[in-house]
């Protein structure tokens, strides 16, 4: 048993699937944070903690659903003409819709800095990927060389996976170590604030102590007293105590703790960390989208939030194990960034007057001709 087995608890070996001549998804280690799972160290925040924060849950929904809703197209590099895309491009896993697959891949890139898919089928004639299934990053670990600078193999659920062919991994590489590592402390602070808010919602007054002024009460009497006190406070704000019991309060109420201000501050910081304009998640108090900026809102979302994820997906799908070297995969943003009816009419009017588009071409673009 080598030193690696000490950390991994012993490497298991699964039956080796068939392999084909497909480029292996091995790569250099860009940052030591990528080794946290391998060394048993830590993602400084968990996905559950992140998703318990409304700001992150909403930002995740906006970014991932937007990326997944945009169609992927295959273009010839020389002519820029669209060509027929293999099914794997827009529906990688034939068991589920393509939007579901890319929603989770986009989340993995956001949260972990990596996305993984396991190849389940290859084309017999070209050995290119025909189908694949998404693998959660927390199921994947790596083996590196002695210096820790090169990934030599991957493991899924502790089992070795082949470096090529069916069963090997398609790796989508992110731009950094992921939100859970990069902003772990802020995420945990946000999760703790949500827990504090939930506690004060259940017990909307400072921590209370009921003190007996007489003899000591048995445990069952104390439990009944606390239960009846809690039930009464949920139904009535005014309380009555006889001479045998005294109420004392400990701690501070939410206003003195500045709980709302703290949650607002952390929400703004988390919007910055995940890379979305704060007004999209209502993280800035008093901020709102007006008519003047609503028309450019989607373009702003693409520029500041979606492009980092989209480019990584495009780049991986454009590699030779998906399409020929003469082709590339791109997101088609035309429909997503399509302006309002008024804006389109104004543009069409200009193009028609200068002879760029005819009336019939405009009708066809607006799907008025079937």
Q: Are residues 64 and 158 in the same domain?
A: yes
Average pLDDT over residues 88-100: 95
21 has a pLDDT exceeding 50: no
Q: Are residues 261 and 344 in the same domain?
A: no
Residues 148 and 41 in one domain: yes
pLDDT one-digit tens code per residue, 170-204: 999 988 888 998 888 889 888 888 887 777 666 65
Q: Report whether pLDDT(1) > 50.
A: no
Report whether pLDDT(17) > 70. no
**Average pLDDT for 354-358:** 79
Question: Distance between CA 71 and CA 302 in Å, rounded?
Answer: 14
| Domain assignment of residue 216, given as a range | 207-250
Residue found by looking up tokens 């930002």 in the block: 59
Question: pLDDT above 90 covers what percent of the chain?
Answer: 36
Q: Mean pLDDT for the chain?
A: 79
Per-range mean pLDDT, top range of 57-61, 207-211, 254-258: 57-61
Query: How many CA atoms within 13 Å lie on the side-chain side of 75?
Result: 13
Domain boundary among 217, 233, 250: 250
Say which residue, 231 or 330, is predicted with more confidence: 330
Q: pLDDT by residue (tens digit) across 133-180?
A: 999 999 999 888 888 788 888 999 999 999 889 999 999 998 888 899
Instruction: Mark whether 270 and 332 lie in a shared domain.
Output: yes
Give per-residue pLDDT as tens, 267-303. 888 888 898 888 888 766 545 555 445 557 778 888 8
Return contacts of 87-96, CB within 8 angstroms, 24+ apart: 87/130, 87/131, 88/129, 88/130, 88/131, 88/132, 88/322, 89/317, 89/322, 89/323, 89/329, 92/117, 92/131, 92/132, 92/133, 92/134, 93/120, 93/131, 93/132, 93/133, 93/134, 94/131, 95/133
Do 44 and 73 fall within a single domain? yes
pLDDT, residue 202, reads 66
Residues 359, 270: one domain? no
């Amino acid at each position: 048993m080598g030193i690696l087995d000490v950390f991994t608890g012993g490497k298991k070996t699964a039956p080796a699937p068939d392999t084909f001549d497909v480029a292996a998804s091995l790569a250099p280690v860009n940052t030591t944070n990528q080794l946290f799972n391998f060394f048993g160290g830590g993602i400084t925040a968990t996905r559950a903690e992140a998703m318990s924060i409304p700001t992150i849950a909403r930002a995740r929904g906006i970014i991932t659903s937007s990326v997944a809703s945009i169609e992927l197209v295959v273009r010839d590099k020389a002519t820029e003409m669209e060509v027929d895309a293999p099914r794997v491009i827009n529906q990688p896993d034939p068991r589920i819709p393509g939007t579901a697959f890319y929603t989770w891949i986009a989340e993995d890139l956001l949260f972990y800095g990596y996305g993984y898919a396991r190849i389940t089928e290859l084309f017999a004639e070209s050995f290119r990927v025909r189908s694949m299934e998404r693998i959660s990053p927390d199921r994947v670990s790596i083996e590196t060389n002695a210096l820790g600078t090169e990934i030599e193999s991957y493991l899924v659920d502790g089992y070795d996976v082949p470096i090529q062919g069916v069963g090997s991994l398609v790796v989508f590489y992110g731009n950094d170590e992921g939100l859970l590592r990069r902003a772990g402390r802020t995420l945990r602070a946000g999760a703790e604030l949500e827990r504090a808010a939930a506690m004060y919602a259940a017990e909307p007054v400072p921590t209370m102590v009921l003190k007996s002024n007489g003899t000591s009460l048995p445990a069952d009497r104390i439990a009944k007293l606390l239960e009846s006190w809690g039930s009464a406070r949920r139904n009535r704000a005014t309380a009555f105590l006889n001479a045998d019991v005294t109420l004392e309060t400990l701690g501070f109420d939410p206003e003195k703790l500045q709980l709302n201000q703290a949650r607002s501050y952390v929400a703004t910081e988390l919007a910055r960390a995940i890379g979305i304009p704060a007004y999209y998640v209502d993280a800035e108090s008093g901020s709102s989208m007006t008519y003047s900026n609503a028309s450019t809102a989607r373009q702003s979302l693409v520029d500041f939030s979606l492009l980092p994820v989209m480019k990584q997906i495009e780049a991986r799908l454009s590699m030779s194990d998906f399409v020929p070297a003469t082709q590339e995969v791109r997101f088609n943003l035309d429909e997503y960034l399509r302006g309002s009816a008024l804006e389109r009419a104004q543009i069409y009017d200009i193009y028609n007057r200068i002879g760029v588009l005819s009336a019939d071409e405009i009708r066809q673009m607006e799907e008025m001709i079937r």
